[in-house]
Structure 1
Amino acid sequence: MPEHTAAAAHPAPTSPWVIDTRDLGRRAGNSRRQVRTAPAPVGFGFPGVIEVPEGTDVELDLLLESVVEGVLVSGTVTAPTFGECSRCLDELSGRISVDVTELFAYPDSATEASTDEDEVSRVVDDLIDLEPVVRDAVVLALPRIPLCSADCPGLCPECGGKLAELGPDHGHERIDPRWAALRERLGDTEEEN
């Protein structure tokens, strides 16, 4: 009895992330350009750090090519990013542009038969779901430690002020912890000269 692998999840045909490949055909060498905009779902990035916010427009400029083993999708994905600097906590906004290349294997192809389900994307009922591929590409391209500038000094550990705004002479008096109890008991009197 042949080993049975779980069927790939069926993509929702009405999703803006799903492309119907029937008009592409299965003849190797056929290709078509696909330009579309899709709303970012939850999880495009690192929530609370930097991400493509849910619902913002993700622009897809792709080439779909029919190859022997499936549909090769390649192109560029562009999206807005929002987050905060990991050092000074200032808000950051920008745009990310990433290249994607992914083979979606045809059912019963040698690629589908020789790979685990999570190794290669699949064509399911002539539909391909771009969302997981784009999510992976975007997450890998985002900085894990976003900075407003490479030389951002961050925050003062004592008062929490932004070091860039506090100036070079900013500092805090440090008391040896062994003397802190004595100073507390005697008060903050300074000796007069």
Structure 2
Amino acid sequence: MPKSPKSHLNPRQPLVVDTTKLPRQPGATRALKQVIPAPADLSLEMISVREGSDVELDLELTSVSEGVYISGRVRGSLSGECGRCLNEINQSFGVSIAELFAYEASTTEETTDEDEVGRMQGDLIDLEPAVRDAVVLALPNTPLCRPDCPGLCPECGVHFDDLPADHSHEEVDARWAALRNLTRTEE
């Protein structure tokens, strides 16, 4: 089955890395440290990395026989709302990234599925899918403003931190209301 032609990468895009200065001999390394604007869609329903916010890349590119292995950390800021109390969340994140990008003509293509290993286009690597996967998979499905967030009272909707310790809502089934009066002692 013939492969569809690949789109050409724009080397001016923030997450497109040019490897021309990295020798193609196994073991050669090059550091990549830069701050880029966050791409769109680094998010889940209640928490996200705001598009255009600063994302710090602290990566190492290493030549291997099949291509270029990229490892390191991606850091930035998250914003959203707490899944228990709906308070605003602003916190930093840091995730590890480790990804192999195979040379275009590497035999790796014959031994792996197409979506398992990223492909270089000439000397260019598109890091956006790898960064997106690392960041989005690290986002919490239910973000919390703090680990012990008590949430909101389900009856009155007030944050439990703002309520007294003995806060309660007494609910008596109307069918039992008459019996409640029997337990009270009259003076």
TM-score by length of 1: 0.84
Number of the residue aligned with 2:145: 148
Question: What is the rounded CA distance, in whole Å, between the counterparts of 2:123 and 2:174 in structure 1?
Answer: 71
Question: What is the rounded CA distance, in whole Å, between the counterparts of 2:39 and 2:103 in structure 1?
Answer: 26
1:27 aligns with 2:9: no
Pairwise CA RMSD: 2.0
Unaligned runs of 5+ in 2: 178-185
**Identity percentage of aligned residues:** 53
Question: What is the rounded CA distance, in whole Å, between the counterparts of 1:36 and 1:151 in structure 2?
Answer: 35
Deviation of 1:112 after TM superposition, in Å, equals 1.9
Which residue identity lines up with residue 158 of structure 2 in the other structure?
G
Deviation of 1:178 after TM superposition, in Å, equals 5.0
1:35-88 per-residue CA deviation (whole Å, 9 max, x = no partner) reads: 1111111111214x1111111010001111111100111111111111211111
Within 5 A, what are the aligned runs for 1:1-193?
3-47=1-45, 49-176=46-173, 178=175
Question: What is the rounded CA distance, in whole Å, between the counterparts of 1:64 and 1:177 in structure 2?
Answer: 71
Residues paired across the two proteins, number: 179
Deviation of 1:92 after TM superposition, in Å, equals 1.2
Asked if the contact 1:45/1:52 (under 8 Å) is kept, the reply is yes
Unaligned runs of 5+ in 1: 181-191
1:117-166 per-residue CA deviation (whole Å, 9 max, x = no partner) reads: 21111101211011110111111222211112222211111111101111
Question: What is the rounded CA distance, in whole Å, between the counterparts of 1:122 and 1:8 in structure 2?
Answer: 10
Which residue identity lines up with residue 79 of structure 1 in the other structure?
G
Question: What is the rounded CA distance, in whole Å, between the counterparts of 1:27 and 1:170 in structure 2?
Answer: 68
Q: Are the structure 2 counterparts of residues 177 and 133 from structure 1 closer, same or farther at C-alpha, using a change threshold of 3 Å?
A: farther
Question: What is the rounded CA distance, in whole Å, between the counterparts of 1:8 and 1:73 in structure 2?
Answer: 21
Question: What is the rounded CA distance, in whole Å, between the counterparts of 2:156 and 2:34 in structure 1?
Answer: 48
Which residue identity lines up with residue 97 of structure 2 in the other structure?
V
Asked if the contact 1:88/1:153 (under 8 Å) is kept, the reply is yes
SS of 1:55 mapped into structure 2: coil
Asked if the contact 1:8/1:117 (under 8 Å) is kept, the reply is no
Question: What is the rounded CA distance, in whole Å, between the counterparts of 2:41 and 2:168 in structure 1?
Answer: 40
Asked if the contact 1:5/1:117 (under 8 Å) is kept, the reply is no
Asked if the contact 1:22/1:126 (under 8 Å) is kept, the reply is yes
